[in-house]
Amino acid sequence: MADVLLFHHALGLTPGVETFAELLRAAGHDVRTPDLFEGRLFDDIDSGVAHASEIGFGTIMRRGAEAAEGTPPGAVYIGFSLGVVPAQRLAQTTPGAGGAVLVSACLPVSEFGEEWPAGVPVRVVATEADPFFVDEGDIDAARQLVEASPDAELLLLPGSAHLFADPGHESYDAEAAGVLTDHVLALLAQVDAAAGRG
């Protein structure tokens, strides 16, 4: 059983994010879903990003760090879109992190340190034509991460949806979400095996 922190996207902690968390719980993992927006939900990405900008990305990272307090060593950090900010920071800077899955976003490694920590597996998963991922530089950051770290993998799925894994969103893609789920479960099994739990 892996310990997982799953951070939501710019719409907030939607029922769809909780649904994804339940899939991982059903596989036997301990999953927490911190609410970075403290109960606020949004109908569109732009409104959610505007809210995040208003409260400050420093606040987003602080709330993520507070949510991670007391997390056991070897935890896996998963972020959807905006949630990649705290997830990537925690995976990069927490000694003994188990791994990370960064969905529909990726920041340059230099944002949080000089390099990705050795031995910490990270998967970046996005659709190949997602304008947020492709046009805003995330794909370049992901490719640089893969080039620099043997523990990193970039998976580009068919389509252009950004929130493809949230079943409550209009851009939900069941096939892509299924592929993501399989990769997340595979990484969690890898982390469990490395920790002697497999």
Given the structure tokens 């993998």, which residue do they identify?
A: 153
Length reported for the chain: 198
Amino acid of residue 116: W
Structural domains for the chain: 3-194 (3.40.50.1820)
| Whole-angstrom distance, CA of residue 117 vs CA of residue 94 | 9
Angle (CA) 44-45-49 rounded to 5° is: 125
Q: How many CA atoms lie within 13 A of 138 on its CB side?
A: 28
Given the structure tokens 């190949």, which residue do they identify?
A: 128
Contact indicator for 68, 91 with CB cutoff of 8 Å: no
| Whole-angstrom distance, CA of residue 6 vs CA of residue 68 | 10
Sign of CA dihedral 146, 183, 130, 45: negative
**pLDDT tens by residue, 108-167:** 999 998 899 999 999 999 999 999 999 999 999 999 999 999 999 999 999 999 999 999
In whole numbers, what is the pLDDT of the chain averaged over residues?
Answer: 94
**pLDDT tens by residue, 56-90:** 888 998 999 999 998 888 999 999 999 999 999 99
User: Comparing 197 with 25, which gets the higher pLDDT?
Assistant: 25
